[in-house]
A and B are shown apart, each in its own frame.
Chain A
Amino acid sequence: GIQVEQSPPDLILQEGANSTLRCNFSDSVNNLQWFHQNPWGQLINLFYIPSGTKQNGRLSATTVATERYSLLYISSSQTTDSGVYFCAVRNSGAGSYQLTFGKGTKLSVIP
């Protein structure tokens, strides 16, 4: 099946700093989503972005499907940004509707 690798696995930031999270995937995709899992376990959609660039406030994401990677940018980080960020993809050639998740990037923002 499709492989999803996220980097870095852990990231510690000072409040106000910027960061870039990366997601590499091993095959073509027709669905890519970024999620934030808060400390209580709730997964929150950030972006649906199988290709192109989107922005939402301090967050933005870019997916270069032809090169099989996606980036999530967090600017002016806040302590509430702490948690685990997951990239999830759907393999367009697999005939399946499941999402395959990476292992996540654990972000800690310290005051």
Chain B
Amino acid sequence: DTGVSQNPRHKITKRGQNVTFRCDPISEHNRLYWYRQTLGQGPEFLTYFQNEAQLEKSRLLSDRFSAERPKGSFSTLEIQRTEQGDSAMYLCASTVAGIQETQYFGPGTRLLVL
């Protein structure tokens, strides 16, 4: 069990550019979540997958955001035409669907949009 990994750990981009983040969940986990955290706040839910199906999306997830989880393994989160307000920590978590669902978080990708 190597834990949840995320890449890159840091990303600096210019406004208007596209960025893509990757999350590799714990291998046997079938649920994968994306959250966004801004300074001084708790993480906010963006979307989640069960296997390869995206089952829920937050209203925070504008049309510029898209997430995929092909083959139900790793997931990618893409932000198109980045804005300064997208600057945040993007967190990924995974869990096994069931009665007790403890979510395990990755180290996050810190995005700065200049």
Contact surface of A with B, Cβ cutoff 8 Å: 4, 31, 33, 35, 40-45, 48, 86, 88, 90, 96-104
Q: A76–B73 Cα gap in the complex (Å)? A: 41
Are B102 and A41 neighbours in the complex by a CB distance under 8 Å?
no
Does chain A have a CB within 8 A of B31?
A: yes
Q: A66–B110 Cα gap in the complex (Å)? A: 38
Are B108 and A99 neighbours in the complex by a CB distance under 8 Å?
no
Instruction: Tell me the interface secondary structure of chain B in the complex.
Output: strand
Are B110 and A45 neighbours in the complex by a CB distance under 8 Å?
no
Query: Given known contacts A48-B102, A86-B42, A103-B42, is B56 in contact with A41 (CB within 8 Å)?
Result: no
Residues on the A chain within 8 Å of B55, using CB: 97
Are B31 and A41 neighbours in the complex by a CB distance under 8 Å?
no
B74 → chain A closest CB, angstroms? 19
Query: Given known contacts A41-B89, A97-B55, A98-B45, is B105 in contact with A103 (CB within 8 Å)?
Result: no
Q: How many pairs of A and B residues are in contact by the CB < 8 Å rule?
A: 54
Are A42 and B42 neighbours in the complex by a CB distance under 8 Å?
no
B39 → chain A closest CB, angstroms? 11
A39 → chain B closest CB, angstroms? 12
Query: Given known contacts A97-B56, A98-B48, is B100 in contact with A104 (CB within 8 Å)?
Result: no
Are A42 and B108 neighbours in the complex by a CB distance under 8 Å?
yes
B94 → chain A closest CB, angstroms? 12
Q: A49–B35 Cα gap in the complex (Å)? A: 21
Which residues 31-64 of B have a CB within 8 angstroms of A? 31, 33, 40-45, 48, 55-56, 58
Q: Which residue of A lies closest to B99 (CB)?
A: A30
Mask for B95-107, Cβ within 8 A of A = 1, else 0?
0000011111101
Residues on the A chain within 8 Å of B93, using CB: 43
- Besides the known contacts A43-B43, A97-B31, 10 further A-B residue pairs in the complex with CB atoms under 8 A apart: A41-B107, A42-B105, A43-B93, A48-B101, A88-B43, A97-B101, A99-B43, A101-B43, A103-B41, A104-B42
Are B42 and A45 neighbours in the complex by a CB distance under 8 Å?
no
Are A101 and B56 neighbours in the complex by a CB distance under 8 Å?
no
